[in-house]
Structure formats: C-alpha cells, structure tokens
Structure 1
Amino acid sequence: MGRTEWFILLFLGAVWGGSFFFVEIAIEALPPPIVVAIRLMGGAVILWGIALVAGHRPPASLSLWGGFLLMGLLNNALPFTLFAWGQTQIASGLAAIFNATTPLFTVLAATLFLSDEKITLRKGTAVLVGFIGVIVMIGPSLLAGLGDALWAQLACLAAGASYAVAAIFGRRFAKLGISPMVAGAGQVSSGALLYLPIAALNWQGADFSAAGWQTWAALGGLVLLSTGLAYGLYFQLLARAGATNMTLVTFLVPLSSILLGGLFLGERLDPRHFAGMALIGFSLALIDGRLLRLLTPRQRTPAI
C-alpha cells in the first residue's frame, strides 16, 4: 500500500472506532436497532447525494443490484444484527475481539478464492500479531469468558466471517468499473432496505422526545462520517489495496475507540492499552514491509 492507501486505512480506523463513541451516546436515548436504521438510511441518502452530484447514476442492471443486496446483507444487516444480539449476552470487549478475527478469515478466504492475495509468511505473521495486539489491548482476562453464552459468541464470530466474505465479494465491483461511491451507496441502501423489518419491530419503543442535541450530534457523526464517507472510501481502498489489507482496519477500530474514550469519556488508559497498540503498530509495519527492508542489510553485488 502507498501513502494514500495508508491514509484511507487510518482514517477508516478512526471513524469506525468513533462509531462506538457515537453509538454509546445515541443509545442513551434511542433503542440500538433504531440507531442502526437511522445510520443506514441516512448514510444511503448521503452517499447517493454525493454520487449524483458527481455525475453518477444508479445502475439499471438487476444482477448488479443483486450484488449490492448481497453486500448489504454481508457487510451491514447480518453482522450488525449478529453483534447487536451477541452483545446482549457477552461483554462488548469480547465482541470486539471476535470482530478482530475478520483479517484471519480474510487471509484464509483470499488464499482459497483470490489468485493475487495468497498467504505469505510475512502476511500471516502480521495478521496474527495484530490479533494478539487487540486481545492484549482490550484485556486478555476477557478470554476467560470463552465458553459462556456459546451461541452469542458464535454469532459474533459469524459476524467477523461475514465481514471477511463481504471484502472478498466486494472486489468484483472495481473489476466491473463501478465507482466506489456508487458501490458504497448501493450497498448501504440495500443494507437499509434489509434492516427495515428489524427497525419496524422496534419503532414503537423509540421515544424521540428524549433525544437531545447530543443524541442528534452523535447520529450526525454516525451518518456523515462512520457511514456516508466511510463506505465510499471502503470500496476505494478495497479496489486499490485488496481484501486482506482492507480488513486490517478491524485492528485499528478498538484502538481508536479506546483513545476516543480516554480523551472524551474520561476512560482510563492502562499499560496494556499501550502494549496492544505497539503490537498492532508492529503488525501494520510488517504488512507494509518498508520498515523491514530498511532494517535488513542489503547484499552488495560484487564488483567484476
């Protein structure tokens, strides 16, 4: 990945980590399913608005919309629902660890289904180091809860696998010449459509009069940054850097979430947080490879 790809990856890690910050504020007044529905519907409006202003038009191909529906299912409706249900029975930190299994699934799936993303020793080591970094940062003690609420944990694990499959499948849109903004708009609007039944079941329990300016500001951040802008960049990075590199963002999400919690919510940063961050940084440096090349002495060609 070049500088642009690394910037997009770091930005996505920040805004998707920030989504936990926004959600924590929004769900104080509104039910989580309503927050997710507003996020998807608002994000779809933003993405289509940008796409139309840029001169793009919604595609007419039914097969392409079928692909958007599958992406909306795999990358939005299904994992959002699985994580929401799973977190009713297990700690959010353990759910975040399951979310960080996404690059592990992606490496395996890419090796099986993509000819240009085969696993290498460096790539495999980097993904494992990053995953260990997430465990260290969130708290290894959470792993003591493994085995409790088995179905909830399997649901979160399935959500991580769903994200991985979405990253593999999503590469096809770039090969078809679909604009990243159109692909993002198609996916998010399809995810919103699939999520409507869940939102309808929870609409009666939503008391919008309890939502103050903080709630609407948090929803605005979710819609504008964590969904509208983020998913347009998601498809751009997927096309430019590949599925495995794209899913490395799941290592950065808990990192930025913990930093934002420390800065704005008064949450304490412990030594394990910094140790985990160091491991994640090392894993990203391994993936990048340039640091290793700088540290590895070059073999000189003997003079003839």
Structure 2
Amino acid sequence: MIRKPTPVDIFLLILVSLIWASAFLAIKVAVREIGPVWLVAVRVLIGFLAILPWIAWRGLVLPTGGRQWALTLFVTVLSIIAPFFLISWAELTIDSGVTSLLMGMGPFMAMILSHLTTEDDRMNVFKVLAVVCGFAGVLTVIGPSVAGGLGDHLLAQAAALGGSMCYAIAGVFVRRVRDIPPTRFSGLILGISALLLVPYALATGQPDWTGLSAEAIVALIYLGIFPTALGYILRYHLIRTIGQSYFTLGLNFIPIFGVSLGALVLDEPISLSLFVALALVVTGLFFGQRGARRSAPEKLATP
C-alpha cells in the first residue's frame, strides 16, 4: 500500500535521481576508450550479474505465449539496447550535461504518446504547457546546430533525442507485458540484452583491454552496478511504497544533476543557452507533474 514519504524515502528518491544523472558522466568517461558497442555490452552484462541475486531470491518469471515473448523482446530493444547505444554514441561528440538535458525530453514524449495510445492518461492544460516548455528547451539547445547545418553536433543531439524517444515508446508497451513483476522483468530484459549484445560485440573485434585507463574501468563497473542494476531496484521499491506520481517528481532533478556534474567533474561549459534550456525543461517537468496529479493512479505491481 502506498504511504506518505518518509525522510528515508526522500533521501532514496534524490539518490536514484543523482545515480541516473551520473550515468551520463560515466558514459562520457568510458565511451572514449571502449566505444559505444562494447560499453553497452559490458554495461548490461554487469547490470544483469548485479541484479541476478535479486532474481534468484524472488524467482524468475518468464513470459507466457509467443505474443508476450515478442512484446518482451520489443521492449528490450526499446528500453535498453537502442537507447543505451544511441546515448553512448552521442556522447562521443556532445557533453554529458547536454545529453542529460536532451534525455529530459522523455517525459514530454511520453505524455504525447500516452494521450494517443491510452484512455486513462490524457493531455490536460498543465501537460500541454509542459510539452511546450520542454520542446522550447530542446530548440534552445539544438538551434545553433540547425543554423550551422547538419554537423556532428546535430546528429549526436538527434541520437540523444532518439534514445529519449525509445524510452517513451517502451513505457507505453511495457504496460502490456503481463504477469511479470517489474523488478524481475528488468532482470529478464537485461539478461536478454546481454545474450544479444555480447556476441555482437565479440564479432566486431575486441578493444585493447590492457590499455583501458583506471577511470574507464571504474566508469564501466559503476554503470553496470549503480545506474543499471541498483537504479532499477530503487525505482520499483519507491514506486511500490510512495507511488508513481511522487517518484516521477523526484526525477525532475535529473537534468539539473546531469548538467551540474558535467560542469563540476569534467569542466563542461554552461552557456547561457544551456542555462535557459535547463530552466525551460525543469519548468516543463513540474508542469507535467502537476498535470499527472489529475490522472487516475496506476495499479502497482509487486517487484
């Protein structure tokens, strides 16, 4: 049963937002040395191994029937394989803070898709304001690239937005996967991703493992354990205890944390346009949260 958030819940909510924002920083550090293909393969493998004890404790639940298996594979591609690769490839070119800001478009895309595909999550005035602010923020970021032609920055920015779109679409279809508790479903799709990506990465040739810096190795391990495995466990624990609406409110801090970490740790510049875009996106996220309060609460599954 959902309860009023305690100080511990609030701490965990801020922690998971910080962990997910730090993923963009870790990707930026590791992708330079290992490349996007191997980064994603190693990330999902470590994530699966980290979450495996949880699955062993609670028990593995598999899809029943061909349709549910096909849907599971579809969600696996859209929620892990495609966005992980697109984000990693994008960060070969653009800053981690810009990536986190562009990924903040996911909730706005999800609002539009939910309005078009569901009956219980329709647009309202606040959600429309949220979408307007969100897209205005993105245009503030990508506007200079558009004016300068189809350069590397615009392609990388489009890849980050594509990753955000993948998450939004996956969020619509994951509701149609039935009878698999969410945490164990996360472990299942991480395992499927590892089975698909590791052989593919081996076929592309191996990087120089001995030449990897200590920073890249730590970033890879961190990505697999914290944003990928622990992040999922904390997500579903909080959804089960304090509810989806309050949990989503905490995720509004991800763009703020992402931009701040990029500036503090990697000395990434914070331009006036980036600051304005961040303000627009955060304003849009809070409008979206206000609009979500008018929607009927979803039934929560046991993790």
| TM norm. shorter chain > 0.5 | yes
Equivalent residue for 2:60?
Answer: 57
Equivalent residue for 1:141?
Answer: 144
Contact 2:111 2:123 in 1 (8 A): yes
1:166 CA drift (Å): 0.2
Give the 3 Å change call, closer, same or farther, for CA 267–156 of structure 1 in structure 2: closer
Equivalent residue for 1:301?
Answer: none
Equivalent residue for 1:160?
Answer: 164
For residues 141 and 3 of structure 1, what CA distance do their matches in structure 2 show? 42
For residues 161 and 84 of structure 1, what CA distance do their matches in structure 2 show? 15
Worse-matched range after superposition: 151-160 or 122-131: 151-160
For residues 255 and 24 of structure 1, what CA distance do their matches in structure 2 show? 17
Which residue identity lines up with residue 25 of structure 1 in the other structure?
V
1:216 equivalenced with 2:220 (yes/no): no
1:129 equivalenced with 2:148 (yes/no): no
1:275 CA drift (Å): 3.5
Which residue identity lines up with residue 194 of structure 1 in the other structure?
L
1:70 CA drift (Å): 1.8
Give the 3 Å change call, closer, same or farther, for CA 6–202 of structure 1 in structure 2: farther
Equivalent residue for 1:35?
Answer: 39
Contact 1:40 1:189 in 2 (8 A): yes
Contact 2:21 2:100 in 1 (8 A): no
1:209 CA drift (Å): 0.7
Equivalent residue for 1:183?
Answer: 185
1:83 CA drift (Å): 4.6
SS at match of 1:203: coil
Give the 3 Å change call, closer, same or farther, for CA 106–215 of structure 1 in structure 2: same
- Supply the RMSD in Å over aligned alpha carbons: 3.8
Give the 3 Å change call, closer, same or farther, for CA 202–246 of structure 1 in structure 2: farther
Give the 3 Å change call, closer, same or farther, for CA 51–131 of structure 1 in structure 2: farther
1:154-206 per-residue CA deviation (whole Å, 9 max, x = no partner) reads 66554433221101111234xx35322101111222222232343123333x1
Contact 1:65 1:186 in 2 (8 A): no
1:31-86 per-residue CA deviation (whole Å, 9 max, x = no partner) reads 32111111011111112222323x23343635544433221111111233345556
Which residue identity lines up with residue 109 of structure 2 in the other structure?
F
SS at match of 1:29: helix
**Count of paired positions:** 282
Larger radius of gyration: 1
Q: TM-score, normalized by length of structure 2?
A: 0.74
1:95 CA drift (Å): 6.3
For residues 203 and 248 of structure 1, what CA distance do their matches in structure 2 show? 40
1:95-125 per-residue CA deviation (whole Å, 9 max, x = no partner) reads 6666444334322221122111111111121
**Any unmatched runs of 5+ in structure 2?**
294-303
For residues 94 and 143 of structure 1, what CA distance do their matches in structure 2 show? 16
Contact 1:170 1:235 in 2 (8 A): no
Q: Work out which of the residue numbers 110, 115, 119 in structure 2 matches 1:115.
A: 119
Give the 3 Å change call, closer, same or farther, for CA 257–201 of structure 1 in structure 2: farther
Equivalent residue for 1:297?
Answer: none
Identical-pair percentage? 24
Describe how 1:1-304 pairs up with structure 2 within 5 A. 3=5, 11-53=15-57, 55-59=58-62, 61-63=64-66, 64-84=68-88, 91=94, 99-136=103-140, 138=141, 140-145=143-148, 147-148=150-151, 157-173=161-177, 176-204=178-206, 206-234=207-235, 240-241=243-244, 249=251, 252-289=253-290
Which residue identity lines up with residue 119 of structure 1 in the other structure?
M
Worse-matched range after superposition: 90-99 or 191-200: 90-99
Which residue identity lines up with residue 81 of structure 2 in the other structure?
A
For residues 86 and 221 of structure 2, what CA distance do their matches in structure 1 show? 24
SS at match of 1:269: coil
Contact 2:105 2:135 in 1 (8 A): yes
